[in-house]
Amino acid sequence: MKFRPKNLSPTRAAACALLVLSLSFLFAQSGAPASADAPAKAVHGIAVANMDRSVQPGDDFFQYANGQWIKRTVIPPDRSRVGVFTALSDLTNKRTAAIIEEAARQKAPAGSDSRQITDRQIAGRQIAGRQIADLYNAYMDEAGIEAKGLAPLKPHLDAIAAIKDKHELAHALGETLRADVDALNNTNFHTANLFGLWVAPGFNDSEHYAAYLLQGGIALPDREYYLSDAASMRDARTKYVAHVAAMLKLAGFTDTDARARRIFDLEHAIAEKHISLAENDDIQKANNTWKQADFAAKAPGLEWAEYFRGAGLGQQAEFTVWQPTAFTGESALVASVPLETWKDWLAFHLLEDYAEVLPKALADENFAFFGKTLFGQQQQRPRWQRGVFMVDRWLGDAVGKIYAERYFPPEAKAKAQEMVANITAAFRKRVEALPWMAPATKAEALAKLSALYVGIGYPEHWHDYSAYEVKADDMFGNLWRGSLFEYHREVGRLGAQVDRKEWSMSPQTVNAVNLPLQNGLNFPAAILQPPFFDPKAPDAVNYGAIGTVIGHEISHTFDSEGSAFDAKGRVRNWWTPADLEHFNAATAKLAAQYDTYKPFPDLSINGKQTLAENIADVAGIAASYDGYRASLGGKPGPQQQGFTSDQQFFIAFAQDYGSKSRDAALRAQVMGDSHSPGQYRAATVRNIDAWYDAFKVKPGEKLYLAPADRVRIW
C-alpha cells in the first residue's frame, strides 16, 4: 500500500502503468531540462511564508499552515492539481534528466566518481551508462522512427495474421503475458493483455516466490468504462470505438469500422467478467491455488497447456488465481468468440502498446484518445521528458544508483535510520500499552514489528541490466526486448528463496510503500528530501514531515489489511475475534468523523473508503510525536522562527498536504481514491492531545473535539 494516491495515466502507451502513474503529472511544464540543482533554501525548517496566520489553527489547520501558498499558487493549465509533491517530483525529474542527458552525451560515465569501486563494478557501470545513452538517444531519434515506418511492426502483425486456429491462438495469447501487474505493493490491477503475471512471495509459502495471475484484456482503464451508464462513460465508449478504427486504418487494415466494433464488443464482454477494484482488495477471496492441470476443468475454453507454453511457463506447477470468476469467464470467451475477432484484438493491442515508438501519426492518435479524450491533457509533454520517463521505466535501477550516489548522502541515510528506530520504538510502546488487545495478539504484533524490514533511500541490491540488449537505432526493439527482459527476470525468480529486502520502488520515486508479503517498507531517496526531510532542519520538523509518513507506513502493517499477514508475510489471521471487534468499533468512530467532511455540497468524504489511510495518518502522527519526544530525552525542543518545537512538528505535518486541486480532480479523488484529500488529512491533528496544547485550541473552535471524541487506535 502506497502513502499517496496514484495519478491517472494520461496515455496508455507501451510502458507499464506503474511508472506512467507515478510520472504522469510530473512533466507538466514544457521546455528544456533546467539546472539540476535544488533551489537555495534560506531557512531549514517549516515554511512560514506559506502560512496564513490570520486563520485560527483550531478552526482550519490546513489553511493556517498553507493559506498563503494556496493564495499565491495558480494551477498550471496542463495540470489538474498541484502541491508539495509536485515541486519535489519536478526537482527529482530534472535531476534524473540531467543524469540521463549526461550519459547520453558521454556514452559512459568515464571514471568520474568510480575510483573507489572495483573493476567489475566499473564495467557494470559502463554497460549501464551506454544502455542509458542508447535508450535515450533511440527514443529521441524521431526521424529514424519515422523513416522505419511500420517495418518493425510487420513481423509481429504477420505472425498474428498467420494464426490459423484456436490452438495457435492460445500460444499467441500466452506470448503476450507480461509481469505488468502488482496487487499489493504498488497496487496496479490493470493490464490490457489477456492476463497479467505478478511474481511475489507466496500467500501460503512466504519463503518462496509464487506466480499470481490477474484478470486483464481491456484497454480502457477499468470495467466501469465499459459498463457504466453515466453520460461521460457512454461518450468515452463512442470515442473509443472511433479511436480503435483510426489506429487500425493507420496500420493499413481494411474494413476498420466493423473490426473496431467487434474488438469493442469483445472487450465489453471481458469487462463483464471482471470483478471490481473494491473486490480486488479482499485477500481471502484472492487466495486460490490452481495447479496447472486444474485450469482446463475450472476455466474451460482456452487451451491452457498451449497458453502456458507460449508464456514460457510450461513447467510452472501452480498459480494463485486472483479473480477465479474472471478467468473462467475470459477463458470461455476465447472459445466462443470467433478467431478473426481475437486476431484483430491482438493486432490492435499490439498497435496500442507500441504506439509511442511508432510513426507520429499512430503516436498522435494514441495520445488524442488516451491523453486528451480520456484524461483531459491538452498537450503532450515534451519529447525529452518522455525520453526520461522511458529510461526510468526500463533502466530504473541504473539511473537510481547514480541518483542515490549523487543526491542521498550517507549522513542523510543515518539520520533517517535513527528516526525510523525512534518511531518504531514508540510504536512498540504504544502496542505494549494497549489495554484492549489480548496478550497473544500483542505478541504477534510485536513479533511483526521486530521482523519489519525498513529500506531507506535505495535498495541493498541493484538490478543487473547487462542481459538487456539496447540499440541506439531500434526504439521499437528496445521496448520489445525491455518488456521481455523484465518478464524473464520475474519468471526466473519463481520458486526461488524470497529476498525480504527486495525493493518495489526506485530511489527516484517521490512516494513510500508498505510491502505486506515481505513485511517491509521502502522509503526512496526522492521522498527523503526537503520539505519532507532535511537533515539541517530541526528534529521537530523532520518528525512532523517525514516521521509521520514513516509512522503511517508502519501502521499499515497492523491495519485491516496488514493484519491478514503475519511476521513472515504469511496469510494468517492473528487477531482474536474480541480484538478485531474492538478495532472495528474504534475505527468506525474515525469513519464517522470523516463522513462529516463535505468538500462539495452534494459530495461528502466516504469514511469507510478512506478508513485504512485515515487510521494510518492518526497512528503516524501519534507514533512520530512519541518518537520525537523520546529523542529529546525529556528536554524541550528548540524554538525556531517564533514557533515552539511542538508547533513546528504539527505545522510541518500539515504542510506535507499543502495542495490545490481543480474541482473535477477533487471530485474524482473523493469518489475513487482510498486517500482523503489534503485538507482533511491535515485536520487529522484534531485527534491528538498534544496538538490542543501546542496551539491552545479551545472548545467552540471548528476542529475542537472533546477528549472523549478524539479517536485513539494505537
| Closer to Zn ion by Cβ: residue 479 or 616 | 616
What's the closest the beta carbon of residue 551 comes to Zn ion, in angstroms?
A: 11
Q: Identify which of residues 539 and 613 has a Cβ nearer to Zn ion in the complex.
A: 613
CA dist., res. 179 & res. 388, Å (int): 22
Nearer to Zn ion, 614 or 645 (CB): 614
3-state helix, strand, coil in the chain (%, to 5): 55, 5, 40
Minimum gap (Å) between residue 684 Cβ and Zn ion = 12
Give min distance, CB of 552 to Zn ion, in A.
6
| Rounded Cα–Cα distance for residues 529 and 523 (Å) | 11
Contacts of 281 (CB under 8 A, 6+ apart): 561
Considering beta carbons, is residue 188 or 645 the nearer one to Zn ion? 188
Q: Strands 520-524, 453-457: parallel, antiparallel or unpaired by DSSP? A: parallel
**Shortest distance (Å) from residue 293 CB to Zn ion:** 39
Q: Which of 127, 131, 142 is nearest to 471 (CA)?
A: 131
Q: What's the min distance (Å) between Cβ of 396 and Zn ion?
A: 22
Please report the sign of the dihedral spanned by the C-alpha atoms of residue 434, residue 437, residue 443, residue 449. negative
Strands (E) in 489-596, as ranges, are 513-515, 520-524
User: Cell for 180?
Assistant: 505488468
* DSSP assignment string, 88-150: HHHHHHHHHHHHHHHHHHHSS--STT-TTS-HHHHHHHHHHHHHHHHHHHHHH-HHHHHHHTT
Integer angstrom CA distances of residue 609 from 87, 281, 387, 575, 670? 28, 12, 36, 22, 9
Q: Could you tell me the smallest distance in angstroms from the CB atom of residue 382 to Zn ion? A: 32
Cβ 3 to Zn ion, closest distance in Å? 5
Query: For Zn ion, which is the closer residue by CB, 351 or 591?
Result: 591
Interface contacts to Zn ion, rule CB under 5 A? 613, 616
Nearer to Zn ion, 26 or 616 (CB): 616
Our CB check for Zn ion shows the closer of 611 and 616 to be 616
CA 420 – CA 453 distance, rounded (Å): 11
In the complex, least distance from residue 709 CB atom to Zn ion, rounded to whole angstroms = 24
Whole-angstrom distance, CA of residue 590 vs CA of residue 172:
50
- Residue closer to Zn ion by CB (options 616, 666) is 616
3-state secondary structure 13-39: CCCCHHHHHHHCCCCCCCCCCCCCCCC
| Residue 351 backbone dihedrals phi, psi, to 5 degrees | -60, -45
Q: Nearest approach, Cβ of 619 to Zn ion (angstroms)?
A: 10
| Nearest to Zn ion of 135, 615 (CB atom) | 615
Strands 195-201 and 659-661: unpaired
Residue 610 Cβ, how far from Zn ion at the closest point, in Å?
Answer: 10
Beta strands in 503-649 (DSSP E): 513-515, 520-524
Check if the beta carbon of residue 382 is closer than 8 Å to that of residue 389. Answer: no
Nearer to Zn ion, 92 or 187 (CB): 187
User: Quick one: 613 or 646, whose CB is closer to Zn ion?
Assistant: 613
Q: Give the shortest CB-689-to-Zn ion separation in angstroms.
A: 23
Rounded Cα distance, 242 and 365, in Å:
11
Q: How far is 343 from 713, CA to CA, in rounded Å? A: 54
